[in-house]
Chains A and B, each alone.
Chain A
């Protein structure tokens, strides 16, 4: 019976991972509100069983699984959102807190990456997962995770090179 300590513990853990988790969830759902719903469900389920975030691969795997379930469950809505998003500025619900045009260009380049490369990049750069953890979260080999990461960086470099 340590409600205060427990409360603070989950809050500290969640504060540490929430931005990265949200960014990860938004690889599949464009709406920030939907991403928050997914992150909430995944974190609550995960915390009930683990009470720590040592096994981060499992946490990110749960987010990914719920996001994919969300897409399957709400395909019509996802299509509608995709159509709307295609017609609107992506800056309405930005994935990043942008400080200048350079960062905006970088963020746009990240969002233009193929999905399999982008999710590895997001897990590596903004969630500090190792390739082993990424492999566990995505159900791929470490070599595949590492090569996708290198492809992502190469694509970004190519995109950002001045013409």
Chain B
């Protein structure tokens, strides 16, 4: 089927010129210089020794950048929070009220200590009278939308940590008949 089989056989008899012995020495030196002369079987090991080195640097830079961003965010949030508290306290709107600060013991093993928290109610909705769980007395259901913020502070370093999240509360207020 192959008309060229004899020709291919003759071509394969031709041997390419061998490289000079110096080439092997030069390649060996180049690989030694780059510290990359690791066996093919241990190629993964090579990657595991080289890659983490780069990753540690990346991780270090990443953590440093994240720390700077967190500190910046904390400072900005504190200023904003102080402003919001002032607004909330001065606001005449009935649906906005400032809930007293609550402290909560931190479960974090670090040296951050609880520094207080706020529960800012930014919306209140009266959902009317209801009979809860078959009760004979009606209750008024009021839904509060709040923004809760908790703060921790490290007294040694002065660093602070703030967690803020929205929440929703439903309060059932018993209504007494006249």
Contact = CB atoms under 8 A, between A and B. Distances in A.
A5 B39 contact: yes
Interface residues of B, number: 33
Given A47-B31, A52-B40, A18 B15 contact: no
A158 to B, nearest CB: 11
A34 interface: no
23 contacts: A5-B39, A5-B41, A6-B38, A11-B28, A14-B24, A18-B18, A32-B17, A36-B23, A39-B23, A40-B23, A43-B27, A44-B31, A44-B34, A51-B38, A96-B14, A97-B18, A106-B14, A110-B11, A110-B14, A121-B11, A125-B8, A126-B12, A157-B4
B28 A7 contact: yes
Contacts of A126: 11-12, 14, 16
A95 B40 contact: no
Contacts of B24: 11, 14-15, 18
B46 interface: yes
Contacts of A32: 17, 20
A161 to B, nearest CB: 11
Nearest to A127: B16
Given A2-B42, A103-B14, A39 B19 contact: yes
A13 B40 contact: yes
Contacts of A136: none
Q: Interface residues of A: mostly helix, strand, loop or mixed?
A: helix
B7 interface: yes
A53 B8 CA distance: 25
A129 interface: no
A78 B7 CA distance: 32
Interface in B30-75: 30-31, 34, 36-43, 46
A36 B19 contact: yes
Q: Interface residues of B: mostly helix, strand, loop or mixed?
A: helix
Interface of A: 2-3, 5-11, 13-15, 18-20, 22-23, 32, 36, 39-40, 43-44, 47-48, 50-52, 93-98, 102-103, 106-107, 110, 121, 125-126, 150, 153-154, 156-157, 160
A11 B16 CA distance: 18
Nearest to A154: B4
